[in-house]
Structure 1
């Protein structure tokens, strides 16, 4: 118990000494208020500087000449003046006290200090903002004029304000550009839908062409079959009339012998009129058949002649649809004219040669059909001449019979007639041979026509298949082009214009600028309060040392009085901070206890320095305050300080004072605050122990103690 009472008695003795007289009492009171004055005045002056930025003069210069934008869908033109919009927003609520003026006045004002900053919106600001929509992108710029000779932080704050302006403008322009882009997609979707409808109609026409080509192919094959049968008949006729020459020769010879065998000849030629009539009838049938074949050939030729115009019309429709689709893509900005021309050239390189080749094949088939039709007409004419000759022969045969009956009277005439018959028979034979050759040629032409129409049918099928692929490709492309409603388009444009939303999720919040600096300045004020105490309070009682008191009792006796005054200091300081400055701690009692621990720890550190080093220790306390001012991390994060000073952050006690007060003032981690308190308590114990060691050493007086080199 006596060991505990000794420090208290020493402390009471020191307190009576301090209170002996009015001036000492006033001095103690002043020392108790110094931390409050320091921290209170500084926190009051910096309580909410951002709330008064509207009183900071700043110049605003608007040179923007505006621009005209054209809606890519409707074609409507709109006058845009983004510079005036930015100026209106800044004048309405733009942070600083903006004053709109000329560029010359703004520059002069910033140079003289009449304005802390100036913002210049250039002449091409609006035109540059919309330049991306014209595929001539240029960055719009804002010129910020600052002068650090006026105020460095004013320039920094101006940078922040202009950055927010830039973000707002970028969001607005980006949203408008995204909306224009999505509206262009809607236009493309509509045009593609029209293209799909056109491809459907083109496909129907191509299928009709293919059906017609197949029908022409069937007709051509039927014609080829008929022509083959006619050729076979003509060949049979040629074979049958071949012996006619020999018969006429023999007839001529027999006419010379008519006188000898006239009776026999009359019996043999009794059926000649009927046979010649049959020959005439057969020749007429052949002529009629050839005429029908020629008519069928002409019909086939006419049908073939209609194939080329239909094919050319289908090709023209495909070319027109391709040109219209490319023009629409160029008009809505999806493709440039060069890109569209490149697509058209690519299609021409790949599709046109194939179509030209198919058309050449069809044209060749049409020519063959026309040639075959001409040959069929020639065949029909020859067959008709044969029929006419056969009819003439049939008409002359009765006369021959009569002549034979009157052989006696007309033997000479018969000889003449048989001579004439012998002379005309080679022509008949030649006509029949030409008939056989002509019908064979018709059959060959009809076969070629059948082959050509087959190729035509195949080509028409390819056209139909290609058109179907075109229609399917357009339909697939249509499905891939977004078609959104107005609400979705607007929401999408807003998201593209401002794709990232920053949500503040503060685990703790200081509230104001002053509250944010409070942990640092409360800690610094506590150190200053402890420092000034030892200008008045003796760190160690010489009487206690002379009386042989224990070193620890002497150390505690010199520590208790400044520790109590320090506790009073932080109590007054925390009260003013809480109730006058409205910086209320989240953990009130814990904050007061922690501040009291900080105060008594700082008192112990400064006591140890004074006991060990005397006046030099008092000066070192001031140096430590300056070092801790930059290493405690009270303003900027301690990680930003240079490496030689960064290591001191973990060694000096004010770092832990700031850390603990942050947790307690803002409602942070109590465990972190408790850890900081543990470190400070350790520092307190080490400092008191160091003071006790010094007290033991000071029991022996030395020349230096009797006559110190430096006295403060």
Structure 2
């Protein structure tokens, strides 16, 4: 050990006493740090500057109408984009956009066609709806990443347009329904007034019947009694006329409501079509992921998140339709409608399961795991089955369920018509009663025989009026009438806003890192440490001269003596790199001290690996160190997740020291899980001790066997030590 320390002290003394060497060493200490700092600064916040990516926007939309309301979705999109700083939206005409994309002035262009609004609102019109198109053109030769970012912006724009259209359409329909709901609510007091009048008529009938009986029993007083009854008949007739006028007003109202409630069917069909559109969008997103399964992990994450948003929209829409249909079914009590609601619930459950599957895939991606083609194909098959179920439900709704809802409207209208019929019947019976009374008046002279005929006919007339009064009372307490009123009387603003934005995203960042540059510092720091060690071994000699006493030095002692010198310089390089990260470019770390200590440990391991390769294999070892570095850049998962790389790199990743060096630094940077930190440190120690074993058992043997080979190379004058 004393000899190893002597070699080390002599090396340090030579460095301190030799100014040219000190200058070179100083350069070797700072060059790796500059390499790390420059790369970290360059990648500090690349996604925060996406507004510099110019995307041309062309608005040719001519607008459309819904319920006499002018709507231009294209103009709304342009207004939103003007306030959106995520991408450099530039508003130009069509020729400028085409030329700009072709010659690289714009990275991409988005064209809104003339029929954009009319196609979007076709769902509210008769006939089959037509999907609207956004024409997206991209120049992919300018940059590899820019098309992915602009496409992500387009996906977000597409989602915003869908939300806006849903809000506009639902708000318009619900406003009309709510207006009639208010009128129906206001009608209820008039209906109660009418029913009270009819009840009063029914209450007077027993008195009339009693009078007839008394007339039959006492023919002497019949004439005066009948006159009193006849005086009440005009009052009863007037009451019936007034009640008839009230119910006619009600019937006019129900005729107005008839057309509006029938909008429930296209409204629900619109939602089903929207849910299918969301499902098809998810299917397309998954297909695009399948086409880039090993290349674009960020694009996959964005596509998956967008797909989850689409599924959430579909789930919310189906849930809302289930609630509406359930309310309708509470009035109809239809087994057919109950079965359809069960199918809708099955669709919703499948959509929820598809969403959970995608959430699992996103979690796997976030954890660094790769997506397999089988998993993506399975997800595509599942969402395709759900889309087919929605198609079947749309057909079933058109052919069967929609008529059920129309029956509800017809029953409501029939209710008013039946009321008119009941009143008309009662009114028609009044001449009969009046005639009976006249006959009774005559009967005072004709005798008890004719009075008996009047008495026999009166109970039938009384029963007719009384049964009609009971029906009116049931109408006032009819749950279906109340449910219809409640259904129409909604807060349209809240409902339409809910339909457009049913979910608020609450983000939970488990190990938050404030910027991209800090997130990349483990990779660039690790790479700089390796580069620093490699440059040390490229400039400094591994040959150790004998000590002053002239004794020959053992190979192992020379190896470890020079290693101490190289380890000292490597530690200084590492300290400069890491402290510069924290104090010069201000990178973030939860535990800066642990980050520094672990990085120094990485520096010792790396210098031992590189020194062993060069010491044992000479120039070949330098080439090996360079090759290993190149492999580690691609296979360590420092930039893209390792699961996105080809299988070769995934297979060699666990065998490379970069993998564990970066992993340990990330623990200290984002939040330490000590078991993970210890694991990474333990694996690195294996590399350290394997390098020592190689140097002890192979250095002398390999050096002797390669001595002639190296000598011949040096004779060429082109190869140094």
- Normalising by structure 1, what TM-score? 0.67
Question: Are 2:106 and 1:115 aligned?
Answer: yes
Closer/same/farther in 2, CA of residues 370 and 172 from structure 1, 3 Å limit:
closer
Mapping of residues 474-623 of structure 1, within 5 Å: 474-475=481-482, 478=485, 496-539=499-542, 541=544, 549=553, 552-583=556-587, 585-623=589-627
Deviation of 1:153 after TM superposition, in Å, equals 1.2
Deviation of 1:161 after TM superposition, in Å, equals 2.7
SS of residue paired to 1:152: coil
**In the alignment, what sits opposite 2:708?**
706
Mapping of residues 320-339 of structure 1, within 5 Å: 320-328=249-257, 330-331=259-260
SS of residue paired to 1:123: coil
Closer/same/farther in 2, CA of residues 87 and 334 from structure 1, 3 Å limit:
closer
Deviation of 1:530 after TM superposition, in Å, equals 1.8
Q: Distance in 2 between matches of 1:537 and 1:84?
A: 68
Q: Distance in 2 between matches of 1:347 and 1:45?
A: 71
**In the alignment, what sits opposite 2:63?**
66
Do the aligned residues in 1 keep the contact of 2:440 with 2:451 (CA within 8 Å)? Answer: no
Do the aligned residues in 1 keep the contact of 2:182 with 2:489 (CA within 8 Å)? Answer: no
**In the alignment, what sits opposite 2:207?**
215
What is the aligned counterpart of 2:187 among 170, 188, 195? 195
Question: Are 2:37 and 1:45 aligned?
Answer: no
Q: Distance in 2 between matches of 1:341 and 1:313?
A: 31
Q: Distance in 2 between matches of 1:83 and 1:362?
A: 60
Deviation of 1:694 after TM superposition, in Å, equals 2.0
SS of residue paired to 1:120: strand
Do the aligned residues in 2 keep the contact of 1:31 with 1:533 (CA within 8 Å)? Answer: yes
Closer/same/farther in 2, CA of residues 106 and 468 from structure 1, 3 Å limit:
closer
**In the alignment, what sits opposite 2:637?**
633
Q: Distance in 1 between matches of 2:669 and 2:433?
A: 105
Closer/same/farther in 2, CA of residues 352 and 144 from structure 1, 3 Å limit:
closer
Deviation of 1:52 after TM superposition, in Å, equals 3.9
Question: Are 2:94 and 1:103 aligned?
Answer: yes
| Residues 350-359 or 131-140, more deviating | 350-359
SS of residue paired to 1:211: helix
SS of residue paired to 1:119: strand
Do the aligned residues in 2 keep the contact of 1:590 with 1:664 (CA within 8 Å)? Answer: yes
Do the aligned residues in 2 keep the contact of 1:110 with 1:145 (CA within 8 Å)? Answer: yes
RMSD of Structure 2 on Structure 1 (CA):
4.5
What is the aligned counterpart of 1:36 among 33, 37, 56? 33
| Residues 649-658 or 138-147, more deviating | 138-147
Q: Distance in 1 between matches of 2:88 and 2:417?
A: 70
Q: Deviations over 1:175-203 (max 9, x none)?
A: 55665566556534422321211221221
Q: Distance in 1 between matches of 2:95 and 2:411?
A: 58
The alignment of Structure 1 onto Structure 2 pairs a total of residues equal to 575
Deviation of 1:494 after TM superposition, in Å, equals 5.0
Do the aligned residues in 2 keep the contact of 1:577 with 1:583 (CA within 8 Å)? Answer: yes
Mapping of residues 71-86 of structure 1, within 5 Å: 79-86=70-77
Larger radius of gyration, structure 1 or 2? 1
Q: Distance in 1 between matches of 2:506 and 2:529?
A: 37
| Residues 511-520 or 354-363, more deviating | 354-363
SS of residue paired to 1:650: helix
Closer/same/farther in 2, CA of residues 206 and 135 from structure 1, 3 Å limit:
farther
Q: Distance in 1 between matches of 2:257 and 2:681?
A: 75
Which sections of structure 1, spanning at least 5 residues, go unmatched?
A: 71-76, 231-288, 384-437
**In the alignment, what sits opposite 2:461?**
453
What is the aligned counterpart of 1:9 among 6, 11, 31? 6
SS of residue paired to 2:661: helix
Q: Distance in 1 between matches of 2:208 and 2:29?
A: 119
Q: Distance in 1 between matches of 2:147 and 2:174?
A: 40
Deviation of 1:606 after TM superposition, in Å, equals 1.9
Q: Deviations over 1:43-66 (max 9, x none)?
A: 232233344444433322121223
Deviation of 1:697 after TM superposition, in Å, equals 4.0
SS of residue paired to 1:535: helix
Closer/same/farther in 2, CA of residues 601 and 308 from structure 1, 3 Å limit:
same
Closer/same/farther in 2, CA of residues 516 and 535 from structure 1, 3 Å limit:
same
SS of residue paired to 1:517: helix
Q: Deviations over 1:106-125 (max 9, x none)?
A: 12221221221212233244
What is the aligned counterpart of 2:473 among 431, 451, 465? 465
Q: Distance in 2 between matches of 1:312 and 1:503?
A: 63
Deviation of 1:149 after TM superposition, in Å, equals 0.7
Do the aligned residues in 2 keep the contact of 1:124 with 1:140 (CA within 8 Å)? Answer: yes
Closer/same/farther in 2, CA of residues 85 and 649 from structure 1, 3 Å limit:
same
- Normalising by structure 2, what TM-score? 0.67
SS of residue paired to 2:509: coil
Mapping of residues 45-194 of structure 1, within 5 Å: 45-68=42-65, 79-91=70-82, 93-127=84-118, 140-172=132-164, 183=175, 186-194=178-186
| Residues 618-627 or 490-499, more deviating | 490-499
Q: Distance in 2 between matches of 1:354 and 1:99?
A: 64
